[in-house]
Structure 1
Amino acid sequence: MAHIDETKIARIMESLQKLEFGTVVISIHEGNITQIETTEKVRFALEKKKAALPNQKMG
Protein backbone atom coordinates (compact mmCIF):
# COMPACT_ATOMS: atom_id res chain seq x y z
CA MET A 1 0.00 0.00 0.00
CA ALA A 2 1.32 3.43 -0.94
CA HIS A 3 1.81 6.19 1.61
CA ILE A 4 -1.09 8.67 1.46
CA ASP A 5 -0.44 12.31 2.27
CA GLU A 6 -2.25 13.39 5.46
CA THR A 7 -3.37 16.60 3.71
CA LYS A 8 -5.25 14.55 1.12
CA ILE A 9 -6.85 12.38 3.81
CA ALA A 10 -7.91 15.52 5.68
CA ARG A 11 -9.52 16.97 2.52
CA ILE A 12 -11.40 13.74 1.85
CA MET A 13 -12.65 13.60 5.44
CA GLU A 14 -13.70 17.26 5.28
CA SER A 15 -15.68 16.58 2.10
CA LEU A 16 -17.43 13.60 3.73
CA GLN A 17 -18.28 15.48 6.91
CA LYS A 18 -19.84 18.43 5.06
CA LEU A 19 -21.99 16.24 2.83
CA GLU A 20 -25.54 15.18 3.73
CA PHE A 21 -26.60 13.86 0.30
CA GLY A 22 -24.30 13.43 -2.67
CA THR A 23 -21.07 11.82 -3.79
CA VAL A 24 -17.34 12.11 -3.22
CA VAL A 25 -15.24 10.80 -6.12
CA ILE A 26 -11.55 10.17 -5.55
CA SER A 27 -9.48 9.95 -8.74
CA ILE A 28 -6.31 7.86 -8.69
CA HIS A 29 -3.50 8.05 -11.26
CA GLU A 30 -0.53 5.68 -11.06
CA GLY A 31 -1.37 4.89 -7.43
CA ASN A 32 -1.66 8.52 -6.30
CA ILE A 33 -4.72 10.57 -5.40
CA THR A 34 -4.89 13.24 -8.07
CA GLN A 35 -8.37 14.71 -7.67
CA ILE A 36 -11.32 14.86 -5.31
CA GLU A 37 -14.76 15.78 -6.67
CA THR A 38 -17.72 16.49 -4.41
CA THR A 39 -21.27 16.68 -5.73
CA GLU A 40 -23.92 17.84 -3.30
CA LYS A 41 -27.59 17.06 -3.72
CA VAL A 42 -30.14 19.29 -2.04
CA ARG A 43 -33.49 17.66 -1.45
CA PHE A 44 -36.74 19.52 -0.90
CA ALA A 45 -39.86 18.01 0.62
CA LEU A 46 -42.68 17.58 -1.88
CA GLU A 47 -45.78 19.62 -1.20
CA LYS A 48 -49.07 17.88 -1.82
CA LYS A 49 -51.48 19.96 -3.87
CA LYS A 50 -55.02 20.23 -2.63
CA ALA A 51 -57.60 18.97 -5.10
CA ALA A 52 -59.87 21.67 -6.43
CA LEU A 53 -63.57 21.37 -5.80
CA PRO A 54 -65.56 20.62 -8.98
CA ASN A 55 -66.76 24.25 -9.32
CA GLN A 56 -63.42 25.91 -8.51
CA LYS A 57 -60.61 26.79 -10.86
CA MET A 58 -57.04 26.13 -9.79
CA GLY A 59 -54.84 29.09 -10.29
Structure 2
Amino acid sequence: MEEFSGEVKHTPVYKSGSVYKGKKVLVVGCKNSGMELEVCLDLCNHNAKPSLLVRDFK
Protein backbone atom coordinates (compact mmCIF):
# COMPACT_ATOMS: atom_id res chain seq x y z
CA MET A 1 0.00 0.00 0.00
CA GLU A 2 2.93 2.35 0.59
CA GLU A 3 3.89 2.13 -3.09
CA PHE A 4 0.34 2.43 -4.45
CA SER A 5 -0.47 5.97 -5.53
CA GLY A 6 -4.17 5.42 -6.20
CA GLU A 7 -7.21 5.74 -4.01
CA VAL A 8 -8.16 3.02 -1.49
CA LYS A 9 -11.74 2.92 -0.26
CA HIS A 10 -13.72 0.47 1.89
CA THR A 11 -17.29 -0.40 0.91
CA PRO A 12 -18.90 1.44 3.86
CA VAL A 13 -17.73 4.75 2.34
CA TYR A 14 -18.45 3.75 -1.28
CA LYS A 15 -21.43 5.71 -2.60
CA SER A 16 -21.53 5.50 -6.39
CA GLY A 17 -19.47 4.39 -9.35
CA SER A 18 -20.16 7.67 -11.13
CA VAL A 19 -16.87 9.19 -9.95
CA TYR A 20 -14.99 6.29 -11.57
CA LYS A 21 -16.41 6.69 -15.08
CA GLY A 22 -13.81 5.56 -17.62
CA LYS A 23 -11.32 4.55 -14.91
CA LYS A 24 -9.81 1.16 -14.13
CA VAL A 25 -10.89 -0.01 -10.67
CA LEU A 26 -9.70 -3.06 -8.73
CA VAL A 27 -12.34 -4.44 -6.37
CA VAL A 28 -10.96 -6.80 -3.72
CA GLY A 29 -13.32 -9.01 -1.73
CA CYS A 30 -13.31 -11.95 0.62
CA LYS A 31 -16.34 -13.64 -0.99
CA ASN A 32 -18.41 -13.90 2.17
CA SER A 33 -20.78 -10.94 1.73
CA GLY A 34 -21.23 -10.57 -2.02
CA MET A 35 -20.70 -6.83 -1.65
CA GLU A 36 -17.80 -6.92 -4.11
CA LEU A 37 -20.21 -8.09 -6.83
CA GLU A 38 -22.62 -5.25 -6.07
CA VAL A 39 -19.78 -2.73 -6.29
CA CYS A 40 -18.58 -4.20 -9.61
CA LEU A 41 -22.09 -4.07 -11.05
CA ASP A 42 -22.48 -0.45 -9.97
CA LEU A 43 -19.10 0.41 -11.49
CA CYS A 44 -20.11 -1.25 -14.78
CA ASN A 45 -23.41 0.65 -14.77
CA HIS A 46 -21.39 3.88 -14.51
CA ASN A 47 -19.02 2.95 -17.38
CA ALA A 48 -16.00 2.24 -15.18
CA LYS A 49 -13.64 -0.66 -15.93
CA PRO A 50 -13.65 -2.89 -12.84
CA SER A 51 -11.54 -5.98 -12.21
CA LEU A 52 -12.48 -8.30 -9.38
CA LEU A 53 -10.13 -10.16 -7.05
CA VAL A 54 -11.79 -12.57 -4.61
CA ARG A 55 -10.22 -14.77 -1.97
CA ASP A 56 -10.29 -18.55 -2.50
CA PHE A 57 -11.25 -20.52 0.62
CA LYS A 58 -9.60 -23.83 -0.38
- Radius of gyration: which is bigger? 1
| Larger helix share, 1 or 2 | 2
TM-score scaled by structure 1? 0.31
Which one has a larger percent strand, Structure 1 or Structure 2?
Answer: 1
Greater relative contact order, per chain length (Cα 8 Å cut-off, separation 6+): 2
